[in-house]
A and B are shown apart, each in its own frame.
Chain A
Amino acid sequence: MSKLRPLPATGFIPERDLDKTPILEAHHLGINFGGLNAVKEFNLVIGRTEIAGLIGPNGAGKTTVFNLLTKVYQPTKGTILLDGRNTSGMTISQVCRMGIARTFQNIRLFKDMTVLENVLVGLHNEIDYRLAGAIFRIPAYWRAERIARERALELLSIFNMEGMANIKAGSLPYGAQRRLEIVRALATNPSIMLLDEPAAGMNPSETGELMENIRKIRDTFKIAILLIEHDMNLVMGICEGIVVLNYGQIIAKGTPEEIKNNPAVIEAYLGKKEAR
């Protein structure tokens, strides 16, 4: 898999500095749904090549945080800085072009399109020709399309999915659909990727493989990854930092070791000792 390298015409992946300036910052983030504070006072800083985890009981507001960070919802409070730039008022596609990509808890693939086409849609902004160029089939169209296809197959090869390129995405098995979503997100050339329950529905050996691949993606592309996951083995195994959310509020932050031993976290997950 070492052949993964940036291809010249498809958008050069910049050599990301491994410095300590954060790629993503959220300050005092909050959203209010009809009087209910779904998320409040959410603060988060993620380094450029960090793998971070967002955990918490069901209904804690984890996916809502993702939706805030990717602008599916506009936050009612607080600021989000992506690579130091304020994203307030931007749309989903604008922040995506700025370098934030995501997957969805309830898979959102383009079901009627092939696996390859799904990745090509992800590469949309990396392909450079205009509508007129496409209609007249200028050489730049052919070149860009060829490079994009090569690039897409290469990205699919991370999960050994090149062979499935011409299968309809909707007919893939569940696990493969989750992996394809990651590939598609990766195709947008992000500097940070948000994975919403990437291991959901996978068996332990698949999960293990996924852990390897997430690490590999980070190392190859030098990007940050923030993931929501219920599988504690995965979270504790690959995350360098963990944020625990409960009732829309952060109740703990720290390394996996610190989180494991944090009484507030244990209480949130298992309930109060007296109650049991």
Chain B
Amino acid sequence: MLLLSQLINGLQLGSIYALVALGYSMVYGIIMLLNFAHGDIIMAGGYIAVLILTAGRNPVLAIILAIIGCVLLSVLIEKVAYKPLRSAPRISLLITAIGVSLFLQNMAQLLFTANARSFPNTVVIPAINFRIGSINISLTALVTIVVTIISMICLTLLVQKTKMGKAMRAVSEDTDAAKLMGINVNSTITFTFATGSTLAGIGSILYCCRYPLVSPTMGSLLGLKAFVAAVLGGIGSIPGAMIGGLAIGFAEVLVSAVGLSEWTDAVVFAILIIVLLVKPTGFLGRSMQEKV
């Protein structure tokens, strides 16, 4: 059953995209910024994990520190680079984000050289394969899918049920009105960045378990594809990010399966362009109209 194992494959890849896409989606929803640096946060998480693991430390410690590292880095970026530009034109904010992304990539290159390091993935998740009938399912794939589902549920509860979640939704709806209602907009935005990068940290570990190589530029293409997933599903929507991520994952696996693996990147971007032309709000997005 080649098809079914490809399906699992796509599900695994799609789950990772979905986790990363959420970070884009949430930040975009709240400050209308395509956070270019989000992909590079994943790269940073990968390096933290790889450094701790190669030092022979506990994988649990590596995972926790990688996630904390991602959160701290992204909050720092928000405070230093994005906060001063809250009221600036969007184009300035976007250019800053590109600058941050380039900075992280090149710092990593300077610190760790441009060569990729191998990630000891079997230490994190043992290389066990389950055989169900004729299908092979790796433990990595299973863990990825399960962790993603749990993360999604937690996030949904966070956004729907908690006070902070309500504040996040209020700020993304109307920043000024939220401010008038006594919501601390700055801390809400910081919290959003932190939540998004927690997911990025998780995604980073899962991604490294599947593709066990860490390099300074690993985050840029992953990040872009995840953003495509976020747009596809509808920016600002949690189930949308999940659907978008899965769609991109399946599309990639499908393109590779028919023997056009060199074209996958082109296909992903082509999907983006077509979606934006046909339905710019994505599958589940809400339309935003400028007030006149």
Minimum Cβ distance to chain A for residue B285 (Å): 14
Specify which chain A residues have a CB less than 8 angstroms from the CB of B292 in the assembled complex: 63, 67, 72, 104
State which residues 31-87 of A face B: CB under 8 Å.
63, 67, 72
- The number of chain B residues touching the other chain, given as a range, is under 10
Specify which chain B residues have a CB less than 8 angstroms from the CB of A104 in the assembled complex: 292
State which residues 137-184 of B face A: CB under 8 Å.
none
State which residues 240-292 of B face A: CB under 8 Å.
292
Name which residue of chain B comes closest to A67, CB basis. Answer: B292
Interchain CA distance A72-B292 in the complex, whole Å? 8
Name which residue of chain A comes closest to B289, CB basis. Answer: A73
Main secondary structure, interface of B, reads loop
Minimum Cβ distance to chain A for residue B280 (Å): 16
Interchain CA distance A113-B292 in the complex, whole Å? 21
Interchain CA distance A63-B291 in the complex, whole Å? 10
Name which residue of chain B comes closest to A33, CB basis. Answer: B289
Interchain CA distance A94-B292 in the complex, whole Å? 18
Interchain CA distance A211-B292 in the complex, whole Å? 25
Interchain CA distance A104-B292 in the complex, whole Å? 8
Q: Mark B97-125, 1 if CB is under 8 A from A, else 0.
A: 00000000000000000000000000000
Interchain CA distance A127-B223 in the complex, whole Å? 47
Name which residue of chain B comes closest to A196, CB basis. Answer: B292
Interchain CA distance A63-B292 in the complex, whole Å? 8
Minimum Cβ distance to chain A for residue B161 (Å): 24
Specify which chain B residues have a CB less than 8 angstroms from the CB of A72 in the assembled complex: 292
Interchain CA distance A222-B1 in the complex, whole Å? 79
Interchain CA distance A195-B100 in the complex, whole Å? 45
Name which residue of chain A comes closest to B287, CB basis. Answer: A34
Name which residue of chain B comes closest to A70, CB basis. Answer: B292
Name which residue of chain B comes closest to A66, CB basis. Answer: B292
Specify which chain B residues have a CB less than 8 angstroms from the CB of A67 in the assembled complex: 292
Minimum Cβ distance to chain B for residue A100 (Å): 15
Name which residue of chain A comes closest to B290, CB basis. Answer: A72
Minimum Cβ distance to chain B for residue A103 (Å): 12
Interchain CA distance A67-B290 in the complex, whole Å? 12
Specify which chain B residues have a CB less than 8 angstroms from the CB of A63 in the assembled complex: 292
Q: Mark A95-123, 1 if CB is under 8 A from B, else 0.
A: 00000000010000000000000000000
Minimum Cβ distance to chain B for residue A210 (Å): 22
Minimum Cβ distance to chain A for residue B33 (Å): 23
Interchain CA distance A120-B171 in the complex, whole Å? 40
Minimum Cβ distance to chain B for residue A102 (Å): 10
Minimum Cβ distance to chain B for residue A130 (Å): 30
> Which residues of B pack against A, CB within 8 Å?
292
4 A-B pairs, CB-CB below 8 angstroms? Answer: A63-B292, A67-B292, A72-B292, A104-B292
Cβ-closest 4 pairs across A and B: A72-B292, A67-B292, A104-B292, A63-B292
